[in-house]
Amino acid sequence: MNRMGADLKTRTKDFALAIIRLYSALPKRAEAQVLGHQLLRSGTSVGAHYREAQRAKSDADFISKIEGGLQELEESQYWLELLGESGLVENQQLSSIKKESNELLAIFVSIVNKIKSRGKNAKL
């Protein structure tokens, strides 16, 4: 695995751990737990998709798995927004995890675009 791959493996795992810590700190109110459970599921899936992509059988399979991670990142961002905008969690407490989700999203999009353009260039 190249350096970027190792970094992403670590970053996606660290992102999942941050999600777990956030979930553990949520109020025990029903609405916080429902939103938190959704976030827990989507936020911890990002790294799983990335790791699955490392064993992809083709570029198309790799793209599919990375795009799955993108979907989970988008969903995580939605739950983070709801937690903040509902007042269940202070927005300042969410700023670093939101920043990391945006950075991971940009990296994943870049990876997909690079692989797709590589495939298009090979066909020319």
* CA 43 to each of CA 30, 67, 116: distance values in angstroms, whole numbers, following the listed order: 19, 14, 25
> At residue 108, does pLDDT exceed 70?
yes
d(CA 119, CA 111): 12
* pLDDT tens, position by position, 1-30: 556 666 999 999 999 999 999 999 999 999
Place of tokens 């790294």: 47
- With a threshold of 0.85, does the pTM exceed it? yes
> At residue 57, does pLDDT exceed 90?
yes
Contact indicator for 109, 116 with CB cutoff of 8 Å: no
Per-residue confidence (pLDDT) for residue 118, from 0 to 100: 83
Question: Can you list the domains of the chain with their CATH numbers?
Answer: 3-123 (1.20.1440.60)
Angle 57-63-68 from CA coordinates, rounded to 5°? 110
Per-residue confidence (pLDDT) for residue 121, from 0 to 100: 62
Per-residue confidence (pLDDT) for residue 1, from 0 to 100: 53
